[in-house]
Chains A and B, each alone.
Chain A
Amino acid sequence: MRTLLRLATAGSVDDGKSTLVGRLLFDSKSVLADQFDAVERVSRDRGLATADLALLTDGLRSEREQGITIDVAYRYFATAERSFILADCPGHVQYTRNTVTGASTADVVVLLVDVRHGIQEQTRRHLAVASLLRVPHVVVVVNKIDLVDFDEATYTRVSDEVLASARSLGLYDVATIPVSALDGDNVVDRSDRTPWYDGPSLLSYLEQLSPVGSPHSEPLRFPVQLVIRPQQAAGNAFRDYRGYAGQITSGLVRVGDAITVQPSGRTSTVTGIDFAGVELEEAFAPQSVTIRLADDIDISRGDLVVTSRSVPPVTQDIDGTVAWLADHTLVPGTKVLLKHGTRTVQAMVKAIGGKLDLDDARLLPAESLGLNDIGHVTLRLAAPIPAEEYLHSRDTGAFLLIDAQDGGTLAAGMVGDALLDTLAEVDAVASA
């Protein structure tokens, strides 16, 4: 059975991300002849001796004009074992929000570092993003190894430096691989020019990564998207049908299970699980299904159906960490909308508790948050939501802040002090 893995690239500008992605696509035979012809033609027009594989992914006019990646590009490739969805994210500081976007759904972040330059500000920033968003795996591609004559000592120095930085941000599951994206060393096949390296190529690493999470071992979380009530529309057989449609975000549901609906706290029993006319005995994350309940209780969009064995408390006060993605600054007193699961409520920013200083992984006092800042906020909500720590749930712990006027997305939010906890944990390990 072929499974899916989602990856996001990260790294500083000019570290060769687009070249690496182009190489990965090209060497895994995911680039078709006409796409490659176009790249060759444009490369030739620009006077390049060989095809510039970065042109495979830099799709927008302004990206090709400037030779940089501006926005996330999604790419698809597959091997016999796995299908991959790759979010190719830009490196410029001003586009960090796009890295946050890519990382939010990623199972693994592929972080590039130029072996000649070692850790850059963006390297630390992107490691912080991976840590903050709880991306399960990080692989660091130490790129341009051809430019230091495949020197082991240089690689080891950079690798050690990156691993130390990752640990200071609470990332422990980190692999490093010496690569030349330009020539293809250790991208798809192991290179004989790095005999001192005995790990896998990047593609083998990605193929071998264990599947992420075990969704059914977590408690059931099922945000209700809409109520399905056909009344007369589907004929007499379904006149009294009433089902709750949604995508299970974690756990498993079975016919007969006792459930609780938050924030109301009402309880019932699951009497049926439907998927497009097929009755199921059980369903698990991330299936989209429709469930039926024994009691005609008041449930609507925005409610969260959970197993009665583990009911998250509801609250109107949220302490959270946000990645601020808007151009204007966030100050205390700002009113916004907060989207959590399928529920959107009004929210007021009561206080800003500080922002992350990436250089020494510490929280600094701050009065406001600007574009690309990662900080701590206290929010008061107009209505209660069943908020869970992001640390425990990447789904029910996540929220968006939305501009009530123009509808723009302002921030990626994570319930709880995930960031502070991580840094405190790091401090504890360091002083132990």
Chain B
Amino acid sequence: MTLTDDRRLTQLQWLESEAIHIIREVAAEFERPVLLFSGGKDSVVMLHLATKAFWPSPVPFPVMHVDTGHNFPEVLAFRDATVERLNLRLEVVAVQDYIDDGRLRERSDGTRNQLQTQPLLDGITGHKFDAVFGGGRRDEEKARAKERVFSLRDEFGQWDPRNQRPELWNLYNGRHRPGEHVRVFPLSNWTELDIWQYIAAENIALPELYYAHQREVFERDGMLISVSDVSLPRDGETVEKRQVRYRTVGDASCTGAVESDAVTVEDVIVEVAATRITERGATRADDRASEAAMEDRKKEGYF
């Protein structure tokens, strides 16, 4: 066979290769990496890439979940099944523990996304993790669009967006001082559509709520909230059964579903390609708080 110009990677193959390179760099250069795993689609894709990166060896680091206590039960079940299938060590830090012993107080609106920062940072320092893989993507949000693949956090877990290290070529610099750690985002260059196309190409299993199903929901702030112990309708909010799916999976009390008929991964790809609303705009009350809601949370050490 002659060497012709058609030996090129597709965009998905390119993204996959880049992510595997990043994951391997971390495994090679850090003492104690951990991968944040919630059972959400981005963390599922990230974990899938990690299994490919080290084959035939098992994934050489544990996973950690910051449990808000407001989970969708099917996502928790998926998390546990995945961890067992891959024989991983799972560390859980629970917001509920912090509320029970008074280290954190429940917010007046009952949502817990903002309460995750302290348990996350305590989980990192408690286990002396020096590299923390996150599934964040730059297309998700304006502040994320500015973040490096290797993002240094000081001993307080803070991100300083004005003082980030230049990130050149594919030479990642993970050096840090004791007490500091590095957040690593292997999916930085992926878009929501890339994630779904990859899920289809690799036949990756996800929690069922990512696909259209019948669910009891009520409308709040323009979002469809699922009825559960942590999200009960208030006066004037009526519960209806609708055909919905989730574009993101977070705290059940503030993550909205979208009306959808997309029951297969192919349907979802068509839907995502045609959508006119970003996934966070459609489904996350926490990001709507202000123009810089995500930036402010990230500076404090959030994901």
Hey, which bits of chain A sit against chain B, CB under 8 A? 1-4, 32-35, 38, 42, 57-62, 64, 70-76, 83, 85, 97-98, 100-101, 104-105, 211, 214-217, 225-226, 228-230, 233-234, 237-238, 241, 245-247, 252, 274-277, 284, 286-288, 290, 301, 325, 337, 339, 341-342, 394-395, 398-400, 402-403, 406-409, 412
Contact = CB atoms under 8 A, between A and B. Distances in A.
Interface string B1-36: 001010111110110111011001101100000000
Contact of A286 (B14, B162, B164, B295): B14
B295 A226 contact: no
Contact of B166 (A3, A4, A100): A100
Given A60-B295, A76-B191, A301-B28, A4 B57 contact: no
Which of the listed residues B14, B169, B189 has the most CB atoms from chain A within 10 Å of its own CB?
Answer: B169
Interface residues of B, number: 60
Interface string B196-207: 000000000000
Contact of A59 (B17, B170, B278, B295): B295
Question: Is the contact region of chain B dominated by helix, strand, or loop, or is it mixed?
Answer: loop
Interface of B: 3, 5, 7-11, 13-14, 16-18, 20-21, 24-25, 27-28, 51-58, 138-139, 141-143, 145-146, 161-162, 164-171, 173, 175-177, 188-189, 191, 275-278, 281-282, 291-292, 295-296
B291 A4 contact: no
A-B pairs, 5 with minimum CB distance: A407-B175, A59-B142, A34-B281, A276-B52, A288-B20
16 contacts: A32-B278, A60-B292, A61-B291, A73-B146, A97-B166, A100-B168, A105-B169, A228-B54, A228-B55, A233-B58, A276-B53, A277-B56, A399-B171, A400-B171, A407-B177, A408-B175
Given A247-B20, A276-B52, A104 B169 contact: yes
A247 B9 CA distance: 13
A286 B9 contact: yes
A3 B8 contact: yes
A402 B173 contact: yes
A235 B55 CA distance: 12
A76 B167 contact: no
Given A2-B11, A59-B145, A71-B164, A276 B17 contact: no
Which of the listed residues B14, B24, B139, B275 has the most CB atoms from chain A within 10 Å of its own CB?
Answer: B24
Contacts of A2: 10-11
Contacts of A252: 3, 7
